[in-house]
Amino acid sequence: TPGNIANDLYSEILQSSTVDLDRRSTTAQADDNFHETDSGDSWYDDDFSCEDSVDKLNKASDMDREWSRRHNQFHTIGYRDGLFAGKEAAAQEGFNIGFKDSVLTGYNWGLVRGFSSAMASLPGGLKEKLVKTEETRNKFQRLHESVQSISSTDAMTLFYEDHKRKSLQEKETAKPSSTVADQSNQSTDVGVLDNYHIQLQSILHESPLVEGHLKN
């Protein structure tokens, strides 16, 4: 009948629509699942990439700190070694200059101390044979007493003061305003220790026997 045919057609159309809707729904669900999975994978990749970047930054920072520490360490060592080397060089140079300036004065001062002490320790009879006049013997005694009153520290102080004074005089002499008279006076100026040596030489000239024994 016409009514049954219409119902059958309607049922087929409805079933076809339902199948199509189910197919579309399944496809859409699959697409959604794919996008969710892809999004999750992307998030995982981003997270892994961030961790890798942080590790690289940490390693770079550690290397920078280690380099800075090493640089400061070796810079300090080099600076310290440079100071020590400079001090040693300056000390050696100062010693060389001091030795050259003081060796002659020190030698003459030792000669004065030794000879005056030797003369003072001689017995009276032997001293009279070597030194004929009482005046000269008294000069030896006074020289001995004066020399013995000066300690080694005092002698070093006297030498330093004399050396400093002579250096200042040399600077003044080098100035254009210095006169010939000033230069003459300064050239005859001697230190305290050198003056003792001059006194000894003068006394020895008055004692030919003693001077002859020294030369021999």
Taking only the tens of pLDDT, the chain with its 216 residues reads: 544 555 554 455 555 555 454 565 555 555 555 455 544 445 445 555 556 665 666 666 777 777 777 767 766 776 677 666 666 766 677 667 777 778 888 899 999 999 899 889 989 888 888 888 999 999 999 999 999 999 989 998 998 898 888 888 888 777 665 454 454 444 456 789 999 999 999 998 888 777 665 555
Residue burial 197-209, b: 16+ Cβ < 10 Å; e: rest: bebbeebbeebee
**Contacts of residue 162, Cβ cutoff 8 Å, sequence gap at least 6:** 191, 192, 193, 194
Residue 150 is classified by DSSP as S
Non-local (6+) Cβ contacts of 36 within 8 A are none
Q: How many residues does the chain have?
A: 216
- Alpha helices (H) in 122-151, listed in sequence order: 124-130, 134-148
Query: What pTM was computed for the model?
Result: 0.53
Residue type, 77: I
Task: Compute the CA torsion angle 127, 132, 137, 139 (nearest 10 deg).
Answer: -150
